[in-house]
Amino acid sequence: MAKKNIKKLTVTDLIKKKEQLKQKEKSTEELYVPSLDSYIIIQKPSRALCMEALSVAQNDSTQDKADLHMVYNCVVEPNLKDIKLQEEFSCVEPMEIVEKIFEAGEIGSISGYCLKMAGYSDSVKAVKDIKN
């Protein structure tokens, strides 16, 4: 197996990639939702949103709300924050719309995909592991 040649990142490289990095902040993905036989569009969560969701997940009294929080805030199409949509589904609390539309397993999967978009997975590796 050939060794990978990995380049060291420099300040000059970062400056050249400035616009590209800015665009990544607004990146979106289309996710197919089997129970709805349609796709939704999610937006990459901000660091602040990820920290909120992780904080909610670590609190025993709110742990079950972490995925709901992430999905509610990352799904951009359809707009889950639409008041008319929430009224039609008789939502008392805004985030209830998530549970009324998606299956339980889908909520976890969507939330996980959002976190993955933000780099909360095996996104970085030791260079020595890549070269070998």
**In this structure, is residue 50 part of a structural domain?**
yes
User: In the prediction, which pLDDT does 1 show?
Assistant: 45
CA angle 57, 29, 108 (to 5 degrees): 30
Do you know the residue count of the chain?
Answer: 132
Would you say residue 17 lies in a domain?
A: no
Assess if residue 3 is contained within a domain.
no
Residue among 9, 34, 11 at smallest CA distance from 104: 34
CATH of the domain at 100: 3.30.2220.30
Sheet of 28-33, strands arranged across: 28-33, 38-43, 75-77
Q: Per residue of the chain (132 residues), give pLDDT as tens.
A: 455 678 888 888 888 888 776 766 678 999 999 999 999 999 999 989 988 888 888 877 777 888 999 999 999 999 999 999 999 999 999 999 999 999 999 999 999 999 999 888 766 666 666 665
Alpha-carbon gap, residue 95 to 86, rounded angstroms: 9
Within-domain flag for 48 = yes
- Enclosing domain of residue 102: 26-121
